Amino acid sequence: MAVALLRPSATYKAARYSCLVLMWVVGAQVRVEGEFPREGTFIVMFNHTSFIDMFLVPTFMRGRYTGVMAEERMRYPLLRPLLRRFRAVPIVREDQQRAMAALQRAKEALAEGFHVVILPEGTRTTDGALLPFKSGGFHMAVQTGAPILPVGISGAFDYKPKDRWTIDPGPVHIRIGPPIPVEEYGALGPAGLKERVRAEIGALSAAV
């Protein structure tokens, strides 16, 4: 929780090392393949397989970032100050008006130079396979002209799936793909962009 007390410039570096240590302690051996781009501002999307996903984000991100996440996460007393520190954007998908307001806040974060993390499935898979993707993040990408950076995660589901109480220590691979060129957005549209990103994440998250 000390991360929440740090000055803003030190927050992200502290989060990175804290999460790497935490994952090592709990037996998740994080291995990052590829490099996060050093230039530009991105909408970062990856597959949602385990409760540890939120702790994996700082291990591969660079620069300032925030994320769109389920509103109930903000209710956890230990997580609330950290999520506020990272300007996390809570979303209630069942309430369309509030969901649109959340995406507007994410757009504002992009405009301020923050990367925005979105898990397009919206919830954790229960069998390891990719779920259908929600459309909101892709409309936001087209509207803002922000490139999407696809990331695939494998091993986190085996470590701790949604419907199992026990953990199975082992490697967790994070594969960073190339950004989707904004120049392709016009031809793809939000629906085509969604399918393109889903295919990229599927390939990146395939088991080694």
Specify whether the CB–CB gap between 85 and 14 falls below 8 A: no
Dihedral pair phi/psi, residue 23, rounded to 5°? -65, -40
- The CATH number of residue 97's host domain is 3.40.1130.10
Rg for the chain (alpha carbons), in Å?
16
Distance, in Å, from the CA atom of 104 to the CA atom of 64, rounded to the nearest integer, reads: 18
What is the number of structural domains in the chain? 1
Distance, in Å, from the CA atom of 193 to the CA atom of 31, rounded to the nearest integer, reads: 28
Specify whether the CB–CB gap between 129 and 159 falls below 8 A: no
Beta bridge partners of 33: 175
Domain that holds residue 56: 2-204
Tens of pLDDT along the chain (208 residues) come to: 444 444 555 788 888 999 999 999 999 999 999 999 999 999 999 999 999 998 999 999 999 998 887 655 555 655 555 666 666 776 666 666 766 777 788 888 899 999 999 999 988 999 999 999 998 899 999 999 999 999 999 999 999 998 999 999 999 999 999 999 999 999 999 999 999 999 999 999 985 5
Distance, in Å, from the CA atom of 159 to the CA atom of 50, rounded to the nearest integer, reads: 8
